[in-house]
C-alpha cells in the first residue's frame, strides 16, 4: 500500500443497512410503484428497473426502506452471495441485500470495485453452515484501503479503460462461441438432409435411400423409474437424470448406446451414454433400433429442437406419445450411416478444439481482471506520471486528512436516517401479473400477459411465477381450443 494511503475499517467510512420483505399475506403491499429489488437482480450492473414493486404502506409496515440513487447493493446470502450492483434509481430491497450509502469523500465506483475485488474473501468469511452469510459485522470489519480522492478517481478511470478493452475481447470470445453453436447446427442439418454424404454416394455408386420415418420406427422411448430401491453407494451402474449422473445403482434400465433426453426440466440437452444405466422418472432413454447407428441417432437428437414439443405453461415437459410421432429423415444404409457419423465427428472435433481454446481464453481473461483489481488496491496500478498528476489536483490531500473528515461527518450525521421517506415517482410500463389481470377484467391471453409483465425478458421466470400463483390459488389456466388465457380466481 502507498505511503499516502491509509488502512481503515469499512465501518469507518460507510453507513450500511439491510432491506426488508413486506408480508406476502397482504397482496396490497405488492401493488405499488416503489421498485423493490431482490438479490437475484444484482448482476454487476447499474439497476434502473425492477421485477417487483411495493406500496408506501409496505414500507411503513415492514423493515423495507427506500435507498437513494447511487447506493451500492451487496447480496449477503443465498445463491447470489457476494453479487454487487449500484442503484440507478431510488429503490427498496429485500433483507438479503445490504445497502451501502454514498459518501462525499469516497468515489462510489472506487468503493464498488473495491468490493468486487473482495468478493471471494467476503464469501469465505461468511458463516451459516450450508448457506454462507456475509453478516453486517463481517462487512463492517472489512479492511478498506483509502487513497487520496484524486487517486480514487484516477484508479477508477484506469480500471474502466482496461476493463473496456478486456470486455471487448470477452465479447468477441462469446460471439465466437455463439458462432460455433450455429456452425454445429448447420453441420447436423446438412447431415440429416443427406448433404454430407452426397459425394460419398456418387463416388461409391450408392443409391440415395433416404426417407422419412416415424420416430417409433427408428427408436424406442424408455421411461425412467424411481431409483429408491436400486440406489447404492458403489453401484455398478450410473443413475442418470436429465442433467447427468446423480448416483449409482445395482440394476440398469437402459442398454449402452442410449441417448438421454429430459422428460421434465432440462428437455433439450441430449446426453449419449456408452454404458448401461438407470434413468429416473424425469428422464427418457431413447434407444435406436438395430438397423440405426446409436451415435448417428444421438446426433439426430442434438439436431432436433425438443422444446417445440413442450405444451406446459410451467416446467418444460415432454410426452412419450409426442416424441413417438416425430418425423425423422434418415437412410437405412448402414455403410452410409457410419460415413455420416465419421463426417460429423470430423467437423465437430474441430469445433470442440476451438471451443476449448475459447474457454481457456475466457478463464485467462477473468484471471487478468482479478490481477488488475489486485494491483489497483495495492496502490501499484497507476504510473509515476499519473500519481504526480493526482498530487497536482486541487482537491488532493493525504488519506489521513480525508479519514478525519469522514469521521467528523459520521459524528455529525450518526443519527440521520439516510433512506428516502417518500416514494419515488418512477414510471415503469411493465407490471406484475396480478396487477395486469386486475386491470384487464381479471383475464388475459397468456402470451399478451407475458409481453406486458415484468418477466417479458425471462419466459422461464414468467412460467415459474404462474406456477407459484396457481399453487397459491390466485389464478387458473383456461383453455379454449388453442387459445390459453390466465384468469384471476
In the chain (489 residues long), the average pLDDT of successive 10-residue segments reads: 88 93 92 93 89 93 92 91 93 94 91 95 77 87 95 95 95 96 96 95 92 96 95 95 94 97 94 97 96 97 96 90 96 96 96 96 96 95 95 92 89 69 51 81 84 75 78 81 81
- pLDDT at residue 42 in the model: 94
- pLDDT at residue 416 in the model: 64
343 DSSP β-pair partners:
none
- Cβ burial of 42 (10 Å; 0-12, 13-18, 19+) is buried
Classify residue 32 by its DSSP letter. Answer: S
Burial of 359-397, coded b for 16+ CB within 10 Å and e otherwise, reads eeeeeeeeeebeebbebbbebebbeeeebeebeeeeebe
Domain 210-332 in the same topology as domain 1-148+397-427:
yes
Where would I find the H helices in 75-148? 108-117, 119-125, 136-140
What global pTM score does this model have?
A: 0.71
- pLDDT at residue 423 in the model: 45
- pLDDT at residue 130 in the model: 60
Which of 14, 250, 230, 317 minimizes the C-alpha distance to 136? Answer: 14
Cell of 81: 452471495
Which of 284, 285, 235 minimizes the C-alpha distance to 257? Answer: 285
**Domain residues of the chain, as ranges?**
1-148+397-427, 210-332, 429-489
Instruction: Domain 429-489: give its CATH architecture.
Output: Orthogonal Bundle (1.10)
CA distance 266 to 383: 51
Which of 63, 336, 65, 6 minimizes the C-alpha distance to 199? Answer: 336
- pLDDT at residue 483 in the model: 80
- pLDDT at residue 367 in the model: 96
CA distance 474 to 489: 5
SS3 call for 69:
coil
Q: What is the CATH number of domain 210-332?
A: 3.90.220.20
How many CA atoms lie within 13 Å of 344's alpha carbon, on the beta-carbon side? Answer: 26
CATH class of the domain whose range is 1-148+397-427: alpha beta
CA distance 377 to 144: 9
Amino acid at each position: 500500500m502507498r505511503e499516502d494511503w491509509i488502512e481503515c475499517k469499512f465501518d469507518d467510512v460507510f453507513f450500511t443497512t439491510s432491506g426488508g420483505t413486506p408480508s406476502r399475506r397482504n397482496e396490497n403491499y405488492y401493488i405499488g410503484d416503489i421498485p423493490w429489488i431482490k438479490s437475484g437482480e444484482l448482476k454487476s450492473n447499474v439497476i434502473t428497473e425492477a421485477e417487483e414493486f411495493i406500496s408506501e404502506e409496505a414500507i411503513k409496515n415492514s423493515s423495507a426502506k427506500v435507498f437513494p440513487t447511487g447506493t451500492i447493493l451487496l447480496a449477503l446470502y443465498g445463491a447470489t452471495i457476494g453479487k454487487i450492483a449500484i442503484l440507478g434509481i431510488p429503490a427498496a430491497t429485500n433483507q438479503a441485500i445490504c445497502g451501502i450509502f454514498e459518501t462525499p469523500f469516497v468515489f462510489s465506483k472506487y468503493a464498488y470495485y473495491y468490493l468486487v475485488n473482495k468478493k471471494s474473501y467476503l464469501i469465505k468469511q461468511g458463516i451459516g453452515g450450508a448457506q454462507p452469510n456475509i453478516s453486517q459485522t463481517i462487512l463492517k470489519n472489512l479492511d478498506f484501503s483509502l487513497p487520496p480522492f484524486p487517486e480514487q478517481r484516477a484508479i477508477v478511470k484506469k480500471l474502466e479503460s482496461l476493463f473496456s478493452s478486456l470486455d471487448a475481447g470477452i465479447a468477441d470470445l462469446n460471439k465466437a462461441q455463439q458462432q460455433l453453436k450455429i456452425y454445429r447446427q448447420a453441420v447436423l442439418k446438412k447431415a440429416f438432409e443427406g448433404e454430407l454424404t452426397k459425394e460419398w454416394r456418387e463416388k461409391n455408386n450408392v443409391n440415395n435411400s433416404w426417407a422419412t420415418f416415424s420416430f417409433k420406427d427408428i427408436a424406442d422411448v424408455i421411461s425412467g423409474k424411481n431409483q429408491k430401491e436400486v440406489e447404492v453407494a458403489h453401484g455398478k451402474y450410473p443413475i442418470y437424470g436429465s442433467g447427468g449422473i446423480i448416483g449409482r445403482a445395482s440394476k440398469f434400465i437402459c442398454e449402452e448406446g442410449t441417448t438421454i433426453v429430459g422428460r421434465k426440466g432440462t428437455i433439450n440437452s441430449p446426453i449419449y451414454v456408452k454404458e448401461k444405466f438407470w434413468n429416473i422418472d424425469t428422464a427418457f432413454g431413447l434407444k435406436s433400433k438395430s438397423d440405426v447407428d446409436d451415435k448417428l441417432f444421438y446426433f439426430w437428437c442434438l439436431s432436433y429442437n425438443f422444446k417445440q414439443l413442450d405444451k406446459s405453461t410451467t416446467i418444460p415437459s415432454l410426452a412419450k406419445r409426442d416424441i413417438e410421432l416425430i418425423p425423422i429423415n434418415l437412410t437405412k444404409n448402414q455403410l452410409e450411416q457410419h460415413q455420416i457419423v465419421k463426417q460429423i465427428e470430423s467437423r465437430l472435433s474441430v469445433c470442440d478444439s476451438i471451443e476449448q481454446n475459447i474457454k481457456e481464453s475466457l478463464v485467462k481473461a477473468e484471471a487478468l481482471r482479478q490481477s488488475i483489481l489486485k494491483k489497483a488496491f495495492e496502490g501499484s496500478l497507476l504510473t509515476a506520471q499519473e500519481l504526480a498528476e493526482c498530487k497536482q489536483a486541487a482537491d488532493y490531500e493525504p488519506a489521513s486528512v480525508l479519514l478525519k473528515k469522514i469521521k467528523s461527518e459520521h459524528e455529525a450525521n450518526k443519527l440521520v436516517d439516510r433512506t428516502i421517506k417518500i416514494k419515488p415517482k418512477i414510471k415503469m410500463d411493465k407490471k406484475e401479473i396480478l396487477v395486469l389481470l386486475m386491470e384487464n377484467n381479471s383475464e388475459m391471453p397468456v402470451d399478451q400477459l407475458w409481453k406486458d409483465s415484468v418477466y417479458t425478458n425471462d419466459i422461464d421466470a414468467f412460467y415459474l411465477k404462474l406456477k407459484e400463483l396457481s399453487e397459491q390459488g390466485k389464478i387458473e389456466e383456461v383453455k379454449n381450443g388453442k387459445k390459453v388465457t390466465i384468469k384471476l380466481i
